Amino acid sequence: MGNAKRLHILHLLTEGEVSVTDLADEVGLSQSSTSQHLAILREHGLVQTRRAAQTIYYSLQSDTARTMLDTLADIFGSRRHSAGERVRAGQLTK
């Protein structure tokens, strides 16, 4: 999880099932690199696969993964918002 590309992949999967090709395009990695990240996520039980002919689709493994991602978004979204408020208040520089 401590990788920005893997977090981006997980975020994309909150919208539903996505093919490896589409994930690679969206994240800006090769299919090979994307597949390596997905293998790590699969090993940790965060994503699952479905094959349709030659295409492999990924989705979030469970509601637990979705809840975890929502919690992270809430935490880091709040921090970004708080920092923005502090910039406006002159407590931080841009």
Q: Which domains does the chain have, with CATH numbers?
A: 4-88 (1.10.10.10)
Q: What is the rounded end-to-end Cα distance, in angstroms, of the chain?
A: 28
pLDDT band (50, 70, 90) for residue 78 = low
Using the predicted structure, report yes or no on whether residue 53 has a pLDDT greater than 90. Answer: yes
The residue among 79 and 25 whose pLDDT is bigger is 25
- Reported as a pLDDT band with limits 50, 70 and 90, residue 82 is very low
Give the whole-angstrom CA distance, residue 7 versus residue 91: 30
Pairwise pLDDT comparison (26 vs 76), residue with the higher score: 26
Q: E strand or H helix at 55, and its extent?
A: strand 55-60
Is the Cβ–Cβ distance between 55 and 19 less than 8 Å?
A: yes
Whether residue 93 is predicted with pLDDT greater than 50 in this model: the reply is no
Please report which confidence band the pLDDT of residue 63 belongs to, taking 50, 70 and 90 as the band edges. confident
Per-residue confidence band for 41, with pLDDT thresholds at 50, 70 and 90? very high
Residues paired with 48 in a beta bridge: 59
**Edge-to-edge strand list for the sheet holding 55-60:** 18-19, 55-60, 47-52
